[in-house]
Amino acid sequence: MTASPEGSVAPAARGLAAEVSRRRTFAVISHPDAGKSTLTEALALHARKIAEAGAIHGKAGRKSTVSDWMEMEKARGISVSSTALQFNYRAAGSEIDNVINLVDTPGHSDFSEDTYRVLTAVDAAVMLIDAAKGLEPQTLKLFQVCRHRGIPVITVINKWDRPGRAPLELLDEIDERIGLTPTPLFLPVGIAGDFRGLLRRGPDGAAAEYIHFTRTAGGATIAPEESLTPEAAEAREGEPWSTAAEESELLSATGQDHDQELFLAGQTSPVIYASAMLNFGVRQLLETLVALAPAPGSRAGVDGTSRQPAEPFSAVVFKVQAGMDTAHRDRLAFMRIVSGEFERGMVVTHAQTGRPFATKYALTVFGRERATVDTAYPGDVVGLVNATALAPGHTLFVDKKVEFPPIPSFAPEHFAALRAQSAGKYKQFRKAIDQLDSEGVVQVLRNDSRGDASPVLAAVGPMQFEVVTARMQGEFGVETQLDHLAYTIARRTDAESAPELDRQRGVEVFTRSDGAILAVFSDKWRLQYIRKEMPDLTLEPLVAAAD
């Protein structure tokens, strides 16, 4: 990247293959409130990217995490948009810095579509589980996306500093509910709520080391660690250590030791117990990511061929975001580099239009912090400024042509008509709608009867509407009125079927901004009736949020 860490070799001297090998690009998936944003902060803290974790525990004086930049996120303490964080991390005993690309995802299920886009841009995922609640619905949905895409998963059982379930009970649930064999690399010493440290398992499952943690004030700084031999751990901790050691042997007897080939094949998942709030187990997660997570690999194009990292430059846009900083008022298109070396200023080809695209303004982003990037490599996430022609799923390339598969839109389940409260704000209203539509914040539907003054917003979850109205007012100064519509299901149709569908009671036909024609229905029974009475009409399902 622009600046090399002190003591590291200049990127040009390492060559493309070396740059690819030291990169790890991953996302954290979890149910809301499992501690995802807190873990993001803790990882950045351990990489010395920030001096203190942003979450000050307790309601009074709570600060927002660096990855949550929207006012709505800060007020609610949830993530509603994806952000990209990049930092260097040198693993213990290593002489090189690994480049960590962490793409933070929305935690709330209403923003599943945004999370799905992120999962098209990563090579691995960290599945974060609450030690008291176990596997929750949103985690299960996102895991299925990872399985479908062949993304290997590392499991972190979080909040071990609070009362929760037994360690082996949680492992059994993972095995039984999602068919993923958990292979713990570290086991907790002390029951949930009495987190003393971690037992590091050796290759044969035997206890190899005891890592004892010391709490810091509010968990705002890195927790000091002390390494002890198994014998010293036995003498110091007694029964809690003996219990952990016995559990480790039991896991080994049932074949739950790490196997790298099975992990990369998506059959097993390394497990770490942690407390992101106290920064316990966070270094161990970073070390695991560096050691086990795959480096960037090939990506399939729409023609069935694969683009290898060593081939000429190519990238896929997975996220478009504006309003991240009111001082800049710009629009960032986040691209994941798939192959070749990126150099700022290079002219690339936009696969969807065939037109040249200049990359003069390229940034890395850490929350709201920005830095110009001159060079980047496969696995890196780069923000292109004011890239108005780009949308999620678009491909950029040089030399050898490639086009990566588009990112599908989810089937919306909530619909609302939006209009500006003041007719004098119509121009700003149109501009804002086009902006939010291009970012993929919501799907925008139009038809002749409603006109451009009152487009229909289609969303996976109702909180997407809140983001729209908040950003319309905050970024564009437009107060809006939202009228919820009594539709619950959408199907793709065609120009031949549209007129007949539009005549039916409880049905309305729209054109989406990407040109797709959608018919929306009041309920599933209305859809079933029309299918039965008019079987020749085209009604195709869209991608469901749980797929």
Range 361-392 burial, b when 16+ CB lie within 10 A, else e: ebbbbbbeebeebebbbbbbbbbbbebeebbb
- Work out the angle at residue 246's Cα, subtended by the Cα atoms of residues 244 and 247, and round it to the nearest 5 degrees: 65
Is 163 marked as binding a ligand? no
Do residues 173 and 269 lie in contact, with contact meaning Cβ atoms separated by under 8 Å? no
Q: Which helix (H) or strand (E) holds 51?
A: none
CA gyration radius, the chain: 25
Hey, what are 113's tokens? 């579509």
For residues 501 and 499, give the distance between their C-alpha atoms in angstroms, rounded to a whole number. 6
User: Which tokens belong to 4?
Assistant: 């090399």
State both tokens at 375: 């060079």
Cα separation of 169 and 179, whole Å?
15
- The torsion angle over the Cα atoms of residues 260, 261, 262 and 264, rounded to 10 degrees, is 80
Q: Answer yes or no: is 374 a known binding residue.
A: no
Is 506 a known ligand-binding residue? no
Can you tell me the distance from the alpha carbon of 177 to that of 179, in angstroms, rounded to the nearest whole number?
A: 6
Report the alpha-carbon distance of residue 342 to residue 264 in Å, rounded.
Answer: 27
- The size of the chain, in residues, is 547
Distance from C-alpha of 491 to C-alpha of 511, rounded to nearest angstrom: 12
Q: Is 394 annotated as a binding residue?
A: no
One-letter amino acid at 72 equals M
- Upper half-sphere CA count for residue 3 (Cβ side, 13 Å): 8
With beta carbons less than 8 A apart as the criterion, state whether 123 and 26 touch: yes
- Residue 301 assigned to a binding site: no
Task: Tell me which residue of 274, 288, 278, 282 sits closest to 131, measured CA to CA.
Answer: 274
- Residues of each annotated binding site: 104-108
- Residues of each annotated binding site for GTP: 104-108
